Homo-oligomer: A and B are copies of this chain.
Amino acid sequence: MAAVCGQYQKVCLSETQLDFPGQPYSVSVLKVGYCVPQTDGSFRADGTITLIRGVMDILVDTGGPWNREFLLQSLKRRGLEPGDLQLVVGTHGHSDHIGNLNLFPSALTIVGYDISEGDIYRPNQLAEGQIYTVDDHVCVVPTPGHTGQDVSVQVEGTSVGTVLVAGDLFEGWSDDNSWKDLSMNSAVQEVSRQKALNTADVIIPGHGLPF
């Protein structure tokens, strides 16, 4: 199945396609986010958690506050302790994405447009639309709209090409009926979405399978 997003087509990948090997970086979805409406008007929701391994180990989003043990176990199964993560990115400051930042107090931490090491907050140009370069293969891209300060993490050179870990820039593969309702600025987000679709070969969304 193919969804037409602007002039670009993306295909929803299968539930088993959560690992994207590569050199020097591989990308693995540790938890597929979800957002399921309930009959009483509430939603069950959790944000996608993604691990990027290579020259350094990077976590993108930490899920909701209830994921502490899940995260510890999930990292442990991959031979990692929380202290091994050198960079932790929260794509935006919603509770289903940044619930476990305190597992990584010594990591370089990026939440939205704030870049910090411990209590030192570093000047940066994310708010001016500038990319924050981690190295030749990984960068943090401002992708506002869902909130005013969203970022995505772009990984180049995997076996599927460029992977964008996009937070709630995309709810999921087929989100035409949902993303605008959750957007603080849908016009701005639409621009961010089109740029992402132009650039990425695979997008890892905040509440659904990669596509």
Contacts and interface: CB of A to CB of B under 8 A. Distances in A.
A123 B123 CA distance: 36
A156 interface: no
Nearest to A98: B98
Interface in A34-93: 38, 41-46, 64-68, 90, 92-93
Contacts of A90: 95
A96 to B, nearest CB: 7
A10 interface: no
A38 B119 CA distance: 12
Interface stretch (A12-20, A100-108, A135-143): A100-108
Contacts of A101: 64-65, 95, 98-101
A33 B28 CA distance: 37
Contact of A65 (B65, B109, B147): B109
A127 to B, nearest CB: 9
Interface residues of A, number: 41
A4 interface: no
Contacts of A147: 93, 147-149
A67 to B, nearest CB: 7
Contacts of A45: 116, 119, 121
A180 interface: no
Nearest to A100: B102
B42 A120 contact: yes
A208 interface: no
20 contacts: A42-B120, A42-B122, A45-B116, A45-B121, A64-B101, A64-B116, A65-B109, A66-B105, A66-B118, A66-B119, A93-B94, A93-B111, A95-B109, A96-B114, A98-B101, A99-B102, A147-B147, A147-B148, A148-B184, A149-B184
